[in-house]
Amino acid sequence: MRKPENRLINRLKPPENWRWPVIVVSGILTGLALFAIHISRAPSYLSDKPETCTNCHIMAPQYATWSHSSHREWTHCNDCHVPHNNVINKYYFKAADGLRHATIFTLRREPQVIRIRHAGIGVVQENCIRCHDQILHGFKYLAGES
């Protein structure tokens, strides 16, 4: 009796006269996929490097602003724009936002003025508080006192 996995493999194999065309088409599709990954700099999106954000030329002004700010010494884009409450949420948010950005850029639907989305506003606010919490609690409020 044949093993079940052998039956599955045999069912997935193309007929004998189709084998070479299937191999050639598979090779072409694999090559195109690898080319697309290379040309889009896809691996860079897994990093935290700020230069990744400039893969889209429309982010150049934001990058220039950041690179001349005091935050440049201490933070990268993901420190402010991605949640840090857990690793799964961080990479889910990063992937969902990246997919949205890639779709907009591919379809050439970039807005003239880039504005943060509602979901991102809360994330940025939480990260400001996370990093600046000590500073915020160090102030004494003197309003109304003489």
Alpha helices by DSSP H, listed for 40-117, are: 60-67, 77-81, 87-106
Whole-angstrom Cα distance, residue 143 to residue 146? Answer: 9
* Residue whose structure tokens are 């429309």: 58
Predicted structure pTM score: 0.64
- The yes-or-no verdict on residue 33 having pLDDT over 90 is yes
Q: Which stretches of the chain are assigned E, i.e. beta strand?
A: none
Whether the CB-CB separation of 44 and 55 falls below 8 Å is answered with: yes
* Residue whose structure tokens are 């195109």: 32
Whether the CB-CB separation of 48 and 78 falls below 8 Å is answered with: yes
Chain centroid to Cα 122, Å, comes to 18
Whole-angstrom Cα distance, residue 133 to residue 84? Answer: 15
CATH of domain 56-146: 1.10.3820.10
Q: Would you kindly state where each structural domain of the chain is located, as residue ranges? A: 1-39, 56-146
- Provide the percentage of residues in the chain whose pLDDT is more than 90: 30
Provide the pLDDT for residue 85: 92
Provide the pLDDT for residue 22: 92
* Residue whose structure tokens are 């880039």: 114
- The yes-or-no verdict on residue 91 having pLDDT over 70 is yes
Mean pLDDT across the chain = 85
Please compute the mean of the pLDDT values over residues 57-73 and round it to a whole number: 87
